[in-house]
């Protein structure tokens, strides 16, 4: 395994090896605002548990978190809702992230918190906990990355709300089973806003570092999760963090993580580091083609994965 002094050199090697693949995949277009992202962008950022940061490429541009925010909303809810997993499961879905099929057969209980239905249930829990859920999410993220001014991209949020027919259907179907309690339009507003949050890769890597430290956030100066809760979130990221390609990602990369259709991926090696990537071109499963390739190369070259 490389020492910390080798992280920068390895990140540079991976970055340069990936440059010929710039533009691979297709930018998400089903959310119209995301269709404007430059497909030639690419960045890598590694943040160690000791607070060192190594970066290459486009790491200081604000990017849309999209589904990555689902992990952080779960981290907000998990310590405060007992039992959290009576309303949402912990199994991979094997179906597209916005599928309604399983919900009908499984009585409105989503398979896991990272498909859209599961994230809507977790967001519903957040609304029950917070008088101002959108403000609470921004405050939480600002404390995680020690950066003021973390905010929503209102254009992206409006674009998501305008194309939310499938998510609206998911929410009403779950409401018919009693598993959504908030007003559906209020729920969609909070959900679409937390998916629209903008962060740089540096901020993203730093904000997730508590999941590499057993739940302790150096930026917040406290434990946000117990070691057991941290284990649960990391295990869910490994098995469910990449839509219906999570098995393939674990096979190739071997790290817990979460992707978003904005092209970002965040990964965690507990006890060592977080590693964030951004490549807007997606494969058919909705994951960054360039990001997955870079992460596979990094873990293969260094031997630093769970396995």
CATH number of 275's domain: 3.40.710.10
Does 140 participate in catalysis according to the annotation?
no
**pLDDT tens digits for range 194-236:** 999 999 999 999 999 999 999 999 999 999 999 999 999 999 9
The answer to whether 155 touches 33, Cβ cutoff 8 Å, is yes
Annotated catalytic residue, options 7, 140, 191, 216: 191
Domain residues for the domain of 289 are 4-302
Torsion of CA 65, 66, 71, 76, to 10 degrees: 80
Does 67 participate in catalysis according to the annotation?
yes
Residue 190 inside a domain? The answer is yes
Annotated catalytic residue, options 24, 243, 253, 258: 243
Q: What is the pLDDT of residue 103?
A: 87
Does 243 participate in catalysis according to the annotation?
yes
% helix, strand, coil for the chain, step of 5: 50, 15, 40
pLDDT beyond 90 at 97: no
Residue 261 inside a domain? The answer is yes
- Which position has the token pair 């404390």? 143
Does 261 participate in catalysis according to the annotation?
yes
Of 142, 92, 136, 81, the residue nearest 118 (C-alpha)? 92
Rounded CA separation 259/261 (Å): 7
Residue 295 inside a domain? The answer is yes
Overall domain count for the chain: 1
**pLDDT tens digits for range 98-129:** 678 888 889 999 999 999 999 999 999 999 99
Residue 307 inside a domain? The answer is no
Task: For residue 107, count other CB atoms closer than 10 A to its CB.
Answer: 10
């Amino acid at each position: 395994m490389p020492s910390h002094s080798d992280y920068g050199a390895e990140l540079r090697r991976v970055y340069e090896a990936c440059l010929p693949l710039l533009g691979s995949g297709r930018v998400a277009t089903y959310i119209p605002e995301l269709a404007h992202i430059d497909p030639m962008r690419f960045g890598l950022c590694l943040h160690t548990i000791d607070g060192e940061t190594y970066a290459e490429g486009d790491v200081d541009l604000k990017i849309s978190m999209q589904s990555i925010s689902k992990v952080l909303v779960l981290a907000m809810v998990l310590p405060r809702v007992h039992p959290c997993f009576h309303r949402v499961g912990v199994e991979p879905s094997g179906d597209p992230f916005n599928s309604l099929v399983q919900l009908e057969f499984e009585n409105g209980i989503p398979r896991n918190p990272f498909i859209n239905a599961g994230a809507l249930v977790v967001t519903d829990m957040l609304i029950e906990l917070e008088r101002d859920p959108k403000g609470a999410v921004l405050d939480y993220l600002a404390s995680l990355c020690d950066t003021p001014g973390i905010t929503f991209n209102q254009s992206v949020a409006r674009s998501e709300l305008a194309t939310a027919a499938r998510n609206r259907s998911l929410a009403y179907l779950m409401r018919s089973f009693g598993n959504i309690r908030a007003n559906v339009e209020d729920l969609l507003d909070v959900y679409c806003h937390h998916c629209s949050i903008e962060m740089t890769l540096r901020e993203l890597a730093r904000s997730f570092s508590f999941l590499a430290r057993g739940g302790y956030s150096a930026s917040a100066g406290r434990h946000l999760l117990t070691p057991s809760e941290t284990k649960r979130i990391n295990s869910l990221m490994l098995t469910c963090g990449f839509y219906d390609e999570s098995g393939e990602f674990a096979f190739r990369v071997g790290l817990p993580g979460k992707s978003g259709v904005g092209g970002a991926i965040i990964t965690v090696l507990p006890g060592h580091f977080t590693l964030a990537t951004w490549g807007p071109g997606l494969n058919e499963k909705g994951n960054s083609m360039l990001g997955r390739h870079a992460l596979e190369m990094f873990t293969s070259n260094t031997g630093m994965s769970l396995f």
